[in-house]
């Protein structure tokens, strides 16, 4: 081929028609190579022939693809910086289970379960191994699981039947609550206190009791006709009554004192402090006779005065509607206004709060206690030491009453029966008022 022919051939190749620019599709995350759209075949053939001829003489011209002309590669998108992995949170140690206890003790799951639920048929040796395993692996029994298995709530309810104002002012109730809570807490259970002061509250409490709200019930009531007594009896629930004078008249056990004996001893002391009769004209302020304890204490006063004093003497008796301080003061005022007080040298009261009111009114009237009139109470509550002179009284050990009540119920829940009447001890407490 001549030089002229070669130059002409190169010129023809240079002027060859340029195929249209193909459309491109944005690169996807899977590939940085652009996808090529469909191109007409005639353009593709011309491009191949022209590019082949040009490649023979111009090495600097890039060759085209045999299938489609390539377009400039889109710049690759830099990869997003990787987010550093969050530091792993240390996991708490796995809580020990009853199966772990069984493995450590070398006994079966059933044996551990029986022991933890209080069943008696586990030997002392096995029990010791289980106790050791429990401590070694720090096993904490599930309260909810135990309650479900035993069908227990681990709640003891103290129901106080009386006016809210009386609950706040009656020192005996506070002592019962405190000592009952001590015993229940020692057992690992919870004491819940409810006040039944109106019919609505009484009905609500009856529904709770009927629904199995608690495992056992401590009832503080001053009424022998309390409707909760029949409910507890009908359902044979673990229950105990705190109230004096119930004796054998109710279906569940009661924690009581021997009111007749205790008050008899007190009356004898007031009349003859050192074995020698010194006071011959006593009067008596009685509590409500429809409440337990009041009739027995009144009977003691009548019996002892009839025994020690001439029967011809009439001894004044005031029948109070309640046990409050104001009722004790009202009795003294009435006797003063009627002239009866002029012949009285001792006032024996059915409880300490009545005695406090009596002393306050006697002092207001200018009487010396015990010089002019001796005064005594009953209960040895905080009221007995709240006044000067402090009151001679009978200690019912109310600080132990709640503890004894709770103990009776806890034993009943465990299947142990108690006597129908659990008598608390009483002690004569001599102070300055008589």
pLDDT single digits (tens) 393-416: 999 998 899 999 999 999 988 888
Task: Give the structural domain span for 184.
Answer: 155-256+400-423
Identify whether 315 is part of a domain.
yes
Considering 130, 150, 170, which residue would you say is the last residue of a domain? 150
Lowest model confidence (mean pLDDT) among 34-48, 112-126, 179-193:
34-48
Identify whether 81 is part of a domain.
no
The answer to whether residues 143 and 226 belong to one domain is no
Q: Over the chain, what is the mean pLDDT?
A: 78
**Strand duo 393-395 + 427-429: pairing:** antiparallel
Lowest model confidence (mean pLDDT) among 50-59, 66-75, 240-249, 265-274:
50-59
The answer to whether residues 363 and 413 belong to one domain is no
Tokens of 159: 């129901």
Identify whether 181 is part of a domain.
yes
Identify whether 350 is part of a domain.
yes
Of 290, 285, 298, nearest in space to 329 by CA: 285
How many domains does the chain divide into?
3
Identify whether 70 is part of a domain.
no
The answer to whether residues 286 and 161 belong to one domain is no
C-alpha count within 13 angstroms, C-beta hemisphere, residue 176: 27
Of 434, 228, 256, 242, nearest in space to 349 by CA: 434
Identify whether 249 is part of a domain.
yes
Report pLDDT for 81: 54
pLDDT greater at residue 13 or residue 213: 213
CATH number at residue 144: 1.10.260.40
Contact (Cβ atoms closer than 8 angstroms) between residue 160 and residue 193:
yes
- Read off the pLDDT band of 23 (50, 70, 90): very low
The answer to whether residues 263 and 252 belong to one domain is no
Longest dimension (CA), the chain: 173
- pLDDT of 255 higher than 50: yes
**CB burial string 43-54: b at 16+ within 10 A, e below:** bbeebbebbebb
Identify whether 161 is part of a domain.
yes
Contact (Cβ atoms closer than 8 angstroms) between residue 147 and residue 190:
no
The answer to whether residues 183 and 268 belong to one domain is no
How far is 241 from 222, CA to CA, in rounded Å?
10
- pLDDT of 3 higher than 80: no
The answer to whether residues 161 and 287 belong to one domain is no
pLDDT greater at residue 148 or residue 115: 115
Q: Per residue in 157-198, pLDDT tens?
A: 998 887 777 777 777 888 899 999 999 999 888 999 988 877
Report pLDDT for 243: 67
Instruction: Express the helix, strand and coil content of the chain in percent, nearest 5 each.
Output: 45, 15, 45
The answer to whether residues 350 and 280 belong to one domain is yes
The answer to whether residues 362 and 289 belong to one domain is yes
CATH number at residue 197: 3.40.50.2300
C-alpha count within 13 angstroms, C-beta hemisphere, residue 134: 15
Q: Tokens 């395993």 map to which residue? A: 133
Tokens of 259: 């009111």
218, β-bridge pairs: 158, 240
- pLDDT of 306 higher than 70: yes
Contact (Cβ atoms closer than 8 angstroms) between residue 172 and residue 160:
no
Considering 83, 116, 150, which residue would you say is the last residue of a domain? 150
Identify whether 58 is part of a domain.
no
Across residues 291-299, what is the average pLDDT?
A: 89
**Strand duo 35-36 + 24-25: pairing:** antiparallel
The answer to whether residues 211 and 275 belong to one domain is no
Of 360, 430, 341, nearest in space to 391 by CA: 430
The answer to whether residues 183 and 223 belong to one domain is yes
The answer to whether residues 270 and 325 belong to one domain is yes
- pLDDT of 56 higher than 90: no
The answer to whether residues 241 and 314 belong to one domain is no
């Amino acid at each position: 081929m001549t030089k002229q022919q070669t130059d002409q051939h190169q010129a023809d190749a240079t002027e060859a028609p340029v195929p249209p620019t193909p459309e491109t599709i944005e690169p996807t995350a899977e590939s940085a190579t652009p996808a090529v759209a469909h191109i007409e075949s005639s353009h593709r053939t011309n491009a191949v022939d022209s590019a082949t001829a040009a490649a023979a003489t111009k090495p600097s011209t890039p060759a085209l693809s045999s299938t489609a002309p390539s377009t400039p590669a889109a710049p690759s998108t830099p990869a997003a910086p990787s987010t550093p992995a969050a530091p792993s949170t240390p996991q708490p140690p796995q809580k020990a289970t009853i199966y772990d206890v069984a493995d450590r003790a070398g006994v079966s799951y059933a044996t551990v379960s029986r022991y933890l639920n209080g069943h008696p048929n586990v030997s002392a040796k096995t029990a010791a191994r289980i106790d050791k395993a429990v401590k070694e692996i720090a096993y904490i029994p599930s309260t909810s699981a135990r309650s479900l298995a035993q069908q227990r709530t681990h709640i003891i309810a103290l129901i106080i039947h009386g006016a809210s104002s009386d609950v706040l002012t009656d020192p005996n109730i506070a002592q019962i609550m405190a000592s009952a809570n001590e015993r229940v807490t020692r057992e690992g259970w919870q004491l819940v206190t409810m006040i039944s002061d109106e019919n609505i509250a009484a009905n609500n409490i009856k529904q709770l009791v009927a629904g199995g709200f608690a495992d056992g019930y401590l009832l503080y009531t001053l009424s022998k006709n309390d409707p909760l007594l029949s409910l507890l009896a009908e359902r044979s629930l673990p229950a105990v009554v705190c109230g004096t004078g119930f004796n054998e008249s109710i279906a569940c056990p009661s924690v009581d004192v021997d009111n007749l004996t205790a008050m008899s001893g007190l009356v004898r002391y007031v009349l003859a402090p050192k074995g020698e009769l010194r006071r011959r004209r006593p009067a008596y302020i009685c509590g409500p006779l429809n409440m337990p304890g009041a009739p027995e204490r009144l009977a003691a006063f009548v019996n002892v005065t009839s025994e020690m004093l001439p029967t011809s003497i009439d001894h004044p008796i005031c029948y109070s509607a309640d046990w409050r301080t104001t009722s004790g003061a009202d009795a003294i005022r009435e006797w003063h206004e009627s002239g009866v007080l002029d012949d009285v040298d001792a006032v024996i009261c059915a409880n300490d709060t009545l005695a406090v009111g009596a002393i306050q009114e006697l002092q207001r009237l200018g009487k010396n206690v015990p010089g002019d009139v001796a005064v005594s109470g009953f209960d040895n509550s905080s009221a007995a030491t709240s006044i000067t002179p402090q009151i001679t009284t009978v200690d019912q050990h109310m600080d132990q009453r709640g503890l004894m009540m709770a103990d009776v119920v806890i034993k009943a829940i465990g299947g142990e029966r108690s006597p129908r009447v659990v008598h608390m001890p009483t002690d004569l407490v001599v102070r300055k008022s008589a």
